[in-house]
Structure 1
Amino acid sequence: MIEAAAGRLIDGYSIEITGKDIAALREAAPGIAPGTAVSVTFLATDTLDQRMAAAALVRELGFEPMPHLSARRIASSAELEAMVSRAASEAGAQRMFLVAGDPPVPAGPFGDTMALLKSGLFERNGIRTIGIAGHPEGHAVMDRTAVWQALKDKDAEIAARGMATLIVTQFGFDAAPFLTWLDELRGHGIDAPVRIGVPGPAGIKTLLRFAAHCGVGASASVMAKYGLSIGKLFGSAGPDRLIEALSDGLRPAHGDVRLHFYPFGGVGKTMTWINDYLAATDAARRR
């Protein structure tokens, strides 16, 4: 049964696109709520011009752009300055999302998110909110103690520079790790708003491919909770069960929690699912 509370969790959602998704974003735009935060990922295969064009379109369409930066892929301080200043001037960006990135060896002087923050470029260019990553299912190269310390350090550095922190998590298929992580997050004294990463509707093979790439748990038992069978690789699924389980488990002590959609099956398909789900939950509220 669809719960009205699940609809409230989706209210204020954010969504992610790549620099190549301009046409898809234009097509889906009428179904996206005005002011929605739209992240523009930092893919190695996208050029800076592609990312900036996508971010500028997000602003033009009436949404809030949140360009990503990948520290270890940035070759120089001049390149970082160009990225931040162009995001601010061309897209009116007031928020950016920072990650260390996958390369084991940095292309330039920035080895991690903290190095980007300490450049001072964000506050100087009018950035008000810095997004950082949350890892409810653990980090590929850091133990839990180090992960929590890094998160606290980044949150403190962002605040010291007069900006706000927003935490966006990896996507997942099981509500339990998210809820446990939220308990720990608030227990560590971090009260920043959180956006829980959930997959948009997609084919089973696509979901499993992204899970393997991102180190997300996708065992047979976890996927069964999500409503999928690993033994049946045809068909697709949306995050209905995951969202309802999250909604059931959230408590006031968890603070400001919303959803961030990763549109693995396409931006249009994800927006159709969101709007259909919101319409159904709105009807449930009125009953």
Structure 2
Amino acid sequence: MSELMTSPRRWSCLDQFSLEATARDMPALAQAAPELAPGTVVAIPFLPGESDAARLEAAARVRALGFTPMPHLAARHLPSRAALLRLLEGWRAGAGVERLLVLAGDRADPRGPYQDALSLIETGLLAAHGVRQVVISGYPEGHPRLSDACLARAMRDKLAALAAQGLAAEIATQFGFSAPPVLAWLAALRMAGVEVPVRLGLPGPANMRTLLRYAALCGVSASASVLARYGVSLNRLRSHAGPQWLVRQLADELTPERHGAVLAHFYPFGGIASLTGWLARQRFIDFPLPEARCS
């Protein structure tokens, strides 16, 4: 097992961050590869209408670039056990996948036998196909269709099922624009005894129109006052903004004792090149993070 230890080191949003890249983003990821650290975790969304061949190829390309592929596995989009097995076997054989982000998916009704992330975990097939770490979803601002109590219960059940199978766990959150709800959610999570690392979702630099579109799709709060502080003008839909204000506020308020192990997970809405360029311009921020030490 690993113990979380406090270390007074300097942190920046470049430190062990992860990012999202779709199958269509692979050429852009290849171009940006020299700007990213070897082993960077790259999440590959499970997009509706995308073929399994594209999902498998994307993971293989991420691995070939020297990064760590983390495909999404959306329970409600899987039509059958055979389809699940094809993906797990393909990811293992073609990309050595050991880490998955498992979620329910945004379909109202399941295509097949899997209702939610827990139903996938409980099959035992993930561990049987070489998966060693499973990332589950977190919602600091709540879910548009699920109560906070339902979300908390689902998280407890998923973490318990993963622990029972000896699988490591992390939580990756939806992106947001405002620090206070994130900080409150993290504090409540730790008070409830959840100690696994959390990757906080941060929107990469993008224009106002793009940010608002994704916020609406994902049920994220994007009020005028929050976006103004974030650096986006309501009167300039094409103006670009990065998350530097949000990162600074989080860094000023996060403490290991209260909020635990926290890393960044970027959603590059403005494109991977835009994100890596923004990251290259950032300066280190004083923020002591917990380190993992094997015992």
Greater strand fraction, Structure 1 or Structure 2: 2
1:88 correspondence with 2:92:
yes
Per-residue CA deviation, residues 240-269 of structure 1 (Å, 9 max, x unaligned), is 000000101101121110100000011111
The structure 2 residue matched to 1:234, chosen from 233, 238, 251, is 238
Paired residue for 1:153?
157
Task: Work out the number of aligned pairs and report it.
Answer: 278
Report deviation, 1:45: 2.8
CA distance in 2 between partners of 1:20 and 1:8 (Å): 28
Where does 1:265-284 land on structure 2 (aligned, <5 Å)? 265-277=270-282, 280-281=283-284
CA distance in 2 between partners of 1:81 and 1:28 (Å): 32
Q: Is the partner of 2:263 in helix, strand or coil?
A: strand
Structure 2: 5+ residue stretches without partners: 1-7, 286-295
Paired-residue identity, %: 45
Greater helix fraction, Structure 1 or Structure 2: 1
Q: Is the partner of 2:100 in helix, strand or coil?
A: strand
CA distance in 1 between partners of 2:11 and 2:170 (Å): 21
The structure 1 residue matched to 2:30, chosen from 26, 29, 34, is 26
Q: Is the partner of 1:101 in helix, strand or coil?
A: coil
- 1:281 maps to amino acid: F
Whether the 8 Å CA contact 1:136–1:169 is kept in 2: the answer is yes
CA distance in 1 between partners of 2:250 and 2:127 (Å): 34
CA distance in 2 between partners of 1:238 and 1:113 (Å): 32
Where does 1:36-185 land on structure 2 (aligned, <5 Å)? 36-185=40-189
Once superposed, which parts of structure 1, at least 4 consecutive aligned residues long, lie more than 3 Å away? 4-10
Per-residue CA deviation, residues 210-235 of structure 1 (Å, 9 max, x unaligned), is 00000000001111221122233231
Whether the 8 Å CA contact 1:20–1:46 is kept in 2: the answer is no
Structure 1: 5+ residue stretches without partners: 283-287
Whether the 8 Å CA contact 1:9–1:257 is kept in 2: the answer is no
Per-residue CA deviation, residues 123-156 of structure 1 (Å, 9 max, x unaligned), is 0011110010000000121111111111111011
Per-residue CA deviation, residues 188-231 of structure 1 (Å, 9 max, x unaligned), is 11101000000111111000000000000000111122112223
Q: Which has the higher contact order (CA 8 A, sep 6+)?
A: 2
Per-residue CA deviation, residues 145-187 of structure 1 (Å, 9 max, x unaligned), is 1111111110111111110111000000001111001001101
Query: How big is the alpha-carbon RMSD for the aligned residues of Structure 1 and Structure 2?
Result: 1.6
Moved more, 41-50 or 129-138: 41-50
Whether the 8 Å CA contact 1:191–1:255 is kept in 2: the answer is yes
Report deviation, 1:56: 0.6
Report deviation, 1:6: 7.9
